[in-house]
Amino acid sequence: MSMDSLKDRLQSSFIVFENELKEETRSPLHSIRRQAMKRFEAQGFPSVKLEDWKYTNLKPIVKGDYTVFADREQGLEFSEIKRFFLNELDTYKIVFVDGRYSSWLSSTTHQNYDICTFSAGLRRHRSVIDAYFSKAAWGERSLVALNTAFAREGAFVRIPAGKVVEKPIEVMHISTGSIGDSMNQPRGLIVLEEGAEATLIERHQNLGNARVLTNSVTEVFAGAGSHFHYLKIQNDSPTTALIDHTSIVQERDSRVDVGTFVFGGRFVRNELEFKLEGPGANAGMIGLSLVDADQFVDHHTGVDHVAPHCQSDELYKGVYDGKSQGVFNGRIMVRPGAQKTNAFQQNHNVLLGEKATVDTKPQLEIFADDVKCSHGCTIGQLDEDALFYLRSRGIPAHEAQALLLYAFGEEIIAKVPLPELRQRLSRLMARKLNVDFELSL
Amino acid sequence: MEVLEHITRNEYAYGFTTDVESDKVPPGLNEDVIRLISAKKNEPQWMLDWRLEAYRIWQEMTEPEWANVHYEKPHFQEISYYSAPKPKKTLGSLDEVDPELLKTFEKLGISLDEQKRLTGVAMDVVVDSVSIKTTFQAKLKEMGILFCPMSEAVRDHPDLVRKYLGTVVPRTDNFYAALNSAVFTDGSFCYIPKGVRCPMELSTYFRINEAGTGQFERTLIVAEEGSYVSYLEGCTAPMRDENQLHAAVVELIALDGAEIKYSTVQNWYPGDAQGKGGVFNFVTKRGLCERNAKISWTQVETGSAVTWKYPSCILKGENSVGEFYSVAVTNHHQQADTGTKMIHLGRNTKSTIISKGICAGKSNGSYRGLVKMGPRAQNARNFSQCDSLLMGDACGSHTFPYIEIENRTARVEHEATTSKIGEDQLFYCNQRGIPTEDAIALIVNGYCKEVLNQLPMEFAVEAQKLLALSLEGSVG
Amino acid sequence: MLKIQGLKASIDGQPILNGIDLEIGRGEVHAIMGPNGSGKSTLSNVIAGREDYEIESGSLEFEGTDLMELAPEERAHLGLFLSFQYPVEIPGVSVTNFVKTAINQHRKAKGLEPMEAKDMLRLMREKMELLGMDKGFLSRSLNEGFSGGEKKRNEIFQMALLEPKLAILDETDSGLDIDALRIVAEGVNALRSPERSILVITHYQRLLEYIQPDFIHVLHKGRIVKSGDKGLALELEKRGYDWLKEKEAEV
C-alpha cells in the first residue's frame, strides 16, 4: 500500500463520513471540513521536500492498511486500563476507545464548566464551537487539514470566566487492536475564558500489537489572565505512530505551559504552536525525550510573538540510544511591533547509541528591535569526569550513566506542577533507563 | 531617530565609474558566447569543453529560491558576459596600464606601484572580466609560489588547473556555480609549494566598472603539504540604477598540514536608499581540508543589494580545522542570507563559527549555517556563536542554524542572541563626551572585534572604516 | 558653579524630584545623603542629561549655562562628570580605545587637535599609577568582567583623565570593601583642587570619612529636607533615617 492509497482511502471515507452526517453537512462547521478536505486533496501527505519535513520521512508510516473508522464500540473494563491513569488523584476523565467515546470509562461534567466530548460540545454549545473551531489550527499544514476534514470526536473543555477547575482533566485515547491496524484523528477544543484555570493530561495508548496511526489536532484558546497547564505523556507501544498538532492562542496576561514527555512509540511528531496575541502573555514549553532502538521523535515548536511585552521560555532535552533519531525545530518569530519581547529557547541532547542521530534547527526570525531573544543548543555526551567520579565510588558504569541521565531528565520533570504526575514521570524515566527508582530518589 | 536617518542616508563612497574604453561582448548567453570568451583568452580545447559541459548542466537547472531573500531574478540574456578595459594586451609594467584606471585605484586607496605598496601585500587587480595587473609576481616565483590571473594559469599551468578545478565546487553543485563554470572570465590562481610559507599577503581587488555586465570570477587556491598562505579580496562597484550580477566561485584546497586563511572585505554597491540598483552577490565558496589542514574564512560584508553566500569547509582529513568569522551589515533595503557549512567527515575535526549580524534601515539579514557530523567523525567538535544587533524597528534579523549529527562522540555547542545597542551604553558614552554617532561606531566595532581581529592589519583598518561608514550611529 | 532651582522631575508619570534647590560653588565638596528611593540617583542622572526623565519645572545651570537643552555629551564637554553607580559593560571596546575616544571628543569640542598617541599613553600611565592600577587593565574590554572595585576605580581613572570641573560621584562606595573604598577615595582626594567641585551621593556616612565634604544635604522624597556641615553625617550615622519619617509625621 502506498502513500497514495491511504490518501485514496481517506477520500472515499470522507464520502461515507458525509453520508453519516446527514443534515449536519449543511452546517457552517461542515463547510470548514469540506474546505479542509480540498486542501488535503491538493497537498497530500507532506514529503521530505518541505522544509518542515526535511528530516522527517512520513512515507513508511502512511504505508499501512489502516482502518479509518471503527465500526463498533469495543468493550473494555476499567481494570484493563487503570494503570494508565493517575489513580492517586481524583480526576475528570475523557476516554476514547478506538476513536469512539466511552461514557462507561469516563467521568465528565457540565456543572460550572464543560468537560466532555467534542460531540457533546456540538450538541450543547454549538455557538462556542462555531466561534473557535479551526481558528487557531489553520494554515498550510495538510495533516491539520486532514484532521479538520474528519473532525468529529475528541475532548471539549470550556471553562467560563473566573472558574478554576480544581481536579486535573485526563484525556485518554485507547486503541484495542481488535479492529486491526487503525488510524485515529481526535480533535480537541479547549476554551478558557477570562481568568479561568485548568490542568489537562493527555495520553495515547495502544493495548495490542496492531499498528496505530494517530493524527491528532488540539486547539487551545486562553482568554485574558487565564492559566492552562497541558501535559502530554507519550509512552506508547512500538507499533504506534503519533502526529500531534497543538495550536494555542493567548490573550492578554494569560499563561500556558505545555510539557511533552516522550518515552515510547515508534514514530512521534509533535507540532506545538503558540500565538501570543495579547500583551503580557506568557508561554512555557518543556520537553523530554528518552528514546532507544529504532524510535523516531520529532519536536517542531513555534512561538509567534504578535503582541508586545510577551515572554516565551522553552527547554527541551533529549537522550538518544540505540539507532534512534531525534529532530528538533524550534522557531521563534517576533513580529513588527512586538517590542519588549523576551524569547528564550534551549535544546540539549545526549547521543548514546552508536547509530543514533540528531538533527536540530533552532531558528529566530526577528522583526522588532527592542527585544531579548536567544537560543542555545548542545549535542554531546555525559560528563566524563562525573562518570569517573561515580565509578570511583564503586557504582558500575551502566548505573553511573543511568544516574547521570536521570539527573539530566529530572531538570525537566521538576517543572511539572502536580507532585503525583512528577512521580509518575520519574518512574517512567527510571524504568526506561533501567535504574532503581527508589535509589534514584 | 534623526541620527538614524542621517546615517542611513550615508552615500556610497566608491560609486564612481571610470571612463576607459572597453572591449565588451554583446549581451546574451549561448554556446557561441562561451566559445568567444574561451577564444579571447586563448584557452586550450579542454577548457572550452569543460565550459560547454557546464553550460549544458546549467541549462537543466532552475534558479534556487530557498534563501530568505526576495529580488527580481536576473535576465540572463541581457547580461554581457565579457568586458575588458582596452587596450587589451599583456601588461609588463605599470606604464602600460591605462592612466584612467590608475586613477580609479588611487581613488580606492590602492596603489599598483610595487614601490609604493605596503611590502607585505602582493596584489592582483580584476576589472570587469579581466585581470589588469598582478604585482610582486617575480618575487613570489623565486619561492615557487604561483600567483597569477586565472586565465594565465589555464595557459601556463594547465596540469595544476586541470587537476583541481571543479574538485571542491563541481559544475553540478548549484545553479550559479554551473553558470560561473560556463562563463567565468578571470580571478586569481594561487599555488603554494610543499612546505613553503608565503611571505606576503596575496590580494585580489575586484571592481565591476562597465554597465550591463556581470562579473563571474573564479579563484582557485592550492596549498601543498605543510604550506601556508593568507589571501585577501576586496570588492567595489560603481553606483548604477540597474542590478548587476556577481556570481563567483572560490575553491580552496589545503593538503596535509597546510593552512589557508581567506579574508574578504566585500563592499559591492548596495543600491540606493530606496533599494534601487546594487549588486546581486551570489557566490559559492568552499574549501577542502586534508589531514591536519586548516582553512579559515573571515568576511566583512557591507555591500551588495542581495547576497547569498556560505563559505564552507569540508573537513575530510583527521584533525583538520575549519573556521568562519563573519560580520554582515545590512542597511536600507539590503538583503543578506549568509553563513557557513562545516562538514565534518574525519576524526577529531574541529570547527568554530563566529557570526555577527547588524541590521539597520529596512534591511533583512539572515544567518544560515549547517554543522554536519558524519558517522566517521569521531570526537568532532563545533562551537557556534551567532549574534544579531538590530538598529531601528523596520529591519529584520533571522537565524537558521541546521545541525545534523550522526556520531555519538561528536560535541556541538550553538548559541545565538538578538539584541539592540543598550540605552545604558549610549548614555554612558555620551556622559564621557562621546556623541551618539561615535558611540555607536565604537560599540559596533567592539561587538565585531572577535571577527575584525582575524583580519590582516591592512584590511582590519579598512573594515573598521567601512563599518563606521555604513552604520556609525543608528539608534534614535 | 552648579545652580539648581525648584527642580521637579518624574518618570512614567511618577514624581521623583519634588523641588530641589542646590547651589555648589567652585572648589566645594558637597554630599547628598538619603535613604533608598529618596531620588539621589535620579538627581545625578537628571544633571547629566539622561532622557528617561520628564523635567516638570525648575532650572539647571552650570557656570551660567542653561543645561536643560544640552545633550549629555555637550554637558560632559562643559566639564560635568558622572561617576556611575553601575558602570555599563561594553564588550570588545578596550579601556584604551574608549578613553582615547572620550578625550579626543572633549578636545574636539574645545577646538583642539586629537592628542598624539604617545602623549595619550603617557597620560594614561600617569593616572594609572595614581590609582595603583595594573597595566593589563588598559587592554581589557570596558567594565566587562570587572570586579566592583575595578569598575569604580575605572570611573575615577576616567575622571582623572577628563579633568572635569564638577564631578558627581553616584554611590561610588556601593559594593566596595574597605580596601577598595580607601583606594578609590584616595584617588578622588588627589583630584581635589580649588578649581574642582565634587558632589558625593551616598547612602552611608562611611565614604565621607575618606572624602570630607564641606556641606551635607539630606534628601527625602525628592526634596532636600536638611542641610548642614559634616557634623550632620555623624548625626545621621547615629540616628539613621527613621527620624525623617517622624519629622514627616509631625508635619
**CA–CA gap between residue C153 and residue C180 (Å, rounded):** 8
The conformation of residue A355, written as its DSSP 8-state character, comes to: T
CB contact residues (below 8 A), chain A span 322-351, against chain B = 336-337, 339, 349, 351
| Backbone angles phi and psi of A215, in degrees to 5 | -120, 90
Strand partners, B215: B246
pLDDT in tens, B119-132: 456 777 777 666 66
Q: Assess whether chains A and C touch, using the rule of 3 or more C-beta pairs within 8 angstroms.
A: no
**CA–CA gap between residue A228 and residue A189 (Å, rounded):** 13
User: Which of C12, C5, C95, C31 minimizes the C-alpha distance to C229?
Assistant: C31
Least confident window among A190-204, B268-282, B294-308, C185-199: B268-282
CB atoms within 10 A of CB B196: 19
pLDDT in tens, B141-172: 899 999 998 989 999 999 999 999 999 999 99
| pLDDT exceeds cutoff 50 at B476 | no
Give 10-residue mean pLDDT values along chain A (441 residues). Answer: 77 92 90 95 94 94 85 80 92 94 94 95 93 86 95 96 96 90 95 97 94 97 97 95 98 97 96 97 97 97 96 97 96 93 95 94 90 92 84 81 89 94 92 68 42
Note whether A376 contacts B414, CB cutoff 8 Å.
yes
| For range C84-105, the mean pLDDT | 89
Residues 6+ apart with CB under 8 A from A200: A155, A157, A168, A169, A170, A171, A190, A228, A229, A230, A231
Closest to B422 (Cβ–Cβ): which among C48, C51, C88? Answer: C88
Note whether B408 contacts A356, CB cutoff 8 Å.
yes
**CA–CA gap between residue B53 and residue B64 (Å, rounded):** 20
| pLDDT exceeds cutoff 90 at B177 | yes
**CA–CA gap between residue B254 and residue B192 (Å, rounded):** 10
Identity of the residue numbered C24:
I
| Three-class secondary structure of residue A152 per DSSP | coil
pLDDT at position A139 is 67
| Three-class secondary structure of residue B309 per DSSP | strand
Interface test with B, best of C41, C52, C83, C98 (most B CBs within 10 A): C98
User: Which of A335, A332, A159 minimizes the C-alpha distance to A254?
Assistant: A159
CB contact residues (below 8 A), chain B span 292-351, against chain A = none
pLDDT at position B245 is 86
Closest to C87 (Cβ–Cβ): which among B428, B435, B445? Answer: B428
Q: What is the mean pLDDT of chain A?
A: 92
CB atoms within 10 A of CB A414: 11
Q: Assess whether chains C and B touch, using the rule of 3 or more C-beta pairs within 8 angstroms.
A: yes
DSSP C133-167: --GGGGGSEETTT--HHHHHHHHHHHHHHH--SEE
Q: Is A369 an 8 Å CB contact of chain B?
A: yes
CB contact residues (below 8 A), chain A span 29-58, against chain B = 51, 55
Unique residue bearing C-alpha cell 549580524: B357
What domains are there in chain C, each with its CATH number?
2-250 (3.40.50.300)
User: What pTM did the predictor assign?
Assistant: 0.85
Q: Is B376 an 8 Å CB contact of chain A?
A: no
> What does the radius of gyration of chain C's CA atoms come to, in whole angstroms?
18
Q: Which three cell numbers stand for residue A263?
A: 518515552
Residues 6+ apart with CB under 8 A from A438: none
Determine contact, residues B344/B315, Cβ cutoff 8 Å.
yes
Note whether C88 contacts B449, CB cutoff 8 Å.
no
Unique residue bearing C-alpha cell 475564558: A193
Closest to A366 (Cβ–Cβ): which among B390, B392, B411? Answer: B390
Q: What CA dihedral angle connects B390, B391, B394 and B395, to 10 degrees? A: -40
- Tell me, rounded to whole angstroms, the distance of Cα A352 from its chain centroid: 25
Residues of C in contact with B435 (CB under 8 A): 71, 73, 105
Higher pLDDT, C159 or B467: C159
**CA–CA gap between residue A106 and residue A123 (Å, rounded):** 18
Distance from CA of A335 to the nearest CA of B (A): 9
Determine contact, residues B236/B108, Cβ cutoff 8 Å.
yes
Residues of B in contact with C98 (CB under 8 A): 429, 432, 442
Q: Is B448 an 8 Å CB contact of chain C?
A: yes
Q: Which chains touch B (3 or more CB pairs under 8 A)?
A: A, C
pLDDT at position B90 is 47
**CA–CA gap between residue A344 and residue A366 (Å, rounded):** 13
| Three-class secondary structure of residue C80 per DSSP | strand
Closest to B418 (Cβ–Cβ): which among A364, A377, A379? Answer: A364
**CA–CA gap between residue C71 and residue C167 (Å, rounded):** 17
Neighbour-count burial of A113, counting CB atoms closer than 10 A to its CB (0-12 exposed, 13-18 middle, 19+ buried) = buried
Q: What is the mean pLDDT of chain B?
A: 84
| pLDDT exceeds cutoff 50 at B88 | no
| Backbone angles phi and psi of C249, in degrees to 5 | -60, -40
Interface test with A, best of B370, B386, B405, B421 (most A CBs within 10 A): B405
Q: Is B46 an 8 Å CB contact of chain C?
A: no
Q: What percent of chain C has pLDDT over 90?
A: 54
pLDDT in tens, B343-361: 999 999 999 999 999 998 8
Closest Cα in chain A to B419 = A372
Distance from CA of B306 to the nearest CA of C (A): 29
pLDDT at position B50 is 95
**CA–CA gap between residue C128 and residue C135 (Å, rounded):** 8
Q: Is C50 an 8 Å CB contact of chain B?
A: yes
Higher pLDDT, B114 or C233: C233
| Backbone angles phi and psi of C104, in degrees to 5 | -70, -30
Closest Cα in chain C to B437 = C73
Distance from CA of B446 to the nearest CA of C (A): 4
pLDDT at position B7 is 40
Q: Is C78 an 8 Å CB contact of chain B?
A: no
Q: Is A90 an 8 Å CB contact of chain B?
A: no
pLDDT at position A137 is 85
Interface test with B, best of C88, C104, C166 (most B CBs within 10 A): C88
Note whether A369 contacts B413, CB cutoff 8 Å.
no
Q: Which chains touch A (3 or more CB pairs under 8 A)?
A: B
Note whether A339 contacts B410, CB cutoff 8 Å.
no
Cα torsion angle, A102, A107, A110, A115, sign:
negative
Residues of B in contact with C90 (CB under 8 A): 425, 428-429, 442-443, 446
Q: Which three cell numbers stand for residue A220?
A: 487551545
Residues of B in contact with A357 (CB under 8 A): 404-406
pLDDT at position B475 is 44
**CA–CA gap between residue A73 and residue A83 (Å, rounded):** 21
Q: Is C96 an 8 Å CB contact of chain B?
A: no
Cα torsion angle, A22, A25, A28, A30, sign:
positive
pLDDT at position A439 is 47
pLDDT in tens, C99-153: 988 999 999 999 999 999 889 989 999 999 888 888 888 889 899 889 888 899 9
pLDDT at position C206 is 84
Note whether B431 contacts C88, CB cutoff 8 Å.
no
User: Which of B235, B218, B298 minimizes the C-alpha distance to B269?
Assistant: B235
State the pairing for strand pair B294-301/B259-267. Answer: parallel
Of B286-300, B420-434, C170-184, which one has max mean pLDDT? B286-300
Q: Which three cell numbers stand for residue B140?
A: 613570489
Q: Is C82 an 8 Å CB contact of chain B?
A: yes
ipTM, two decimals, is 0.86
